[in-house]
A and B are shown apart, each in its own frame.
Chain A
Amino acid sequence: EVQLVESGGGLVQPGGSLRLSCAASGFSFSSYWMHWVRQVPGKGLVWLSRMNGDGSSTTYADSVKGRFTISRDNAENTLYLQMNTLRAEDTAVYYCARRGLYYYYLDVWGKGTTVTVSS
């Protein structure tokens, strides 16, 4: 079964850091672009970042560029999101998602991990 499972969320103080993980299973992880998307409860989806299969190419939304870093370990089938200098407005559910192999869509999503930035 194709599956993505996020972890690493929690409560962090403003200015702090957190690293999210996304464990992939059931597919050839290194073949796929992987993404991070977040959603404030009750609000819309916000695309954050993507990385290609071998980790050589990354893209970020302007809102997180310079603060968040996407990375992956293909040997461990795991995607990461390092989040630094966190702000209250980063409070959200964070999803990892897989991009279709030959298409520009996100076809598999994890259930998300919740990040709360508060003092």
Chain B
Amino acid sequence: DIQMTQSPPSLSASVGDRVTITCQASQDIKKYLNWYQQKPGKVPKLLIYDASNLERGVPSRFSGSGSGTEFTFTISSLQPEDIATYYCQQYDKNFGPGTTVDIK
């Protein structure tokens, strides 16, 4: 089974800051990496698929990059409504452990 790791486990940043989360796969997953946002008490929401494709309706401040085993998720300018836990997922299976983002 392919294992996913994420770093950092949590971060605190100011509104307007650039935020970066990394995700690593234990094997080559080509471009098949998704990013989800889960706000407290809510269902996960797809943000990015195939490593870098923005889901329809998702603000452009969210972006993703990478391939193979190393991937990056970026929020270019953190907004208060971005407070959430972010998960990566390989293909349509295992998720990373999540990164919780809050406002400093």
From known contacts A47-B89, A110-B43, A111-B43, infer whether A103 and B50 are also in contact, taking CB-CB under 8 Å.
yes
A33 at interface, CB cutoff 8 A: yes
The docked-state distance in angstroms from the alpha carbon of A11 to that of B92 is: 29
Q: Which residue of A lies closest to B85 (CB)?
A: A44
Contact with A along B44-80 (1 / 0, CB 8 A): 1010011000010000000000000000000000000
Are B87 and A107 closer than 8 Å at their CB atoms? no
Q: Is the CB of B95 within 8 A of A105?
A: no
Are A104 and B91 in contact (CB-based, < 8 A)?
yes
Q: For window 24-50 of chain A, which residues contact chain B by CB distance below 8 Å?
A: 33, 35, 37, 44-47, 50
Q: Once the chains are docked, how many angstroms separate the CA of A112 from the CA of B87?
A: 18
Q: Is A100 an interface residue (CB 8 A)?
A: yes
Size category of the B interface is 20 to 34
Interface residues on A, range: 20 to 34
B12 within 8 A of A: no
Q: How far is the CA of A42 from the CA of B44 in the complex (A)?
A: 13
Q: Give A33-70 as 1s and 0s: 1 = Cβ < 8 Å from B's Cβ atoms.
A: 10101000000111100100000000101100000000
Q: Which B positions have Cβ atoms within 8 angstroms of A? A: 1, 32, 34, 36, 38, 43-44, 46, 49-50, 55, 85, 87, 89, 91-98
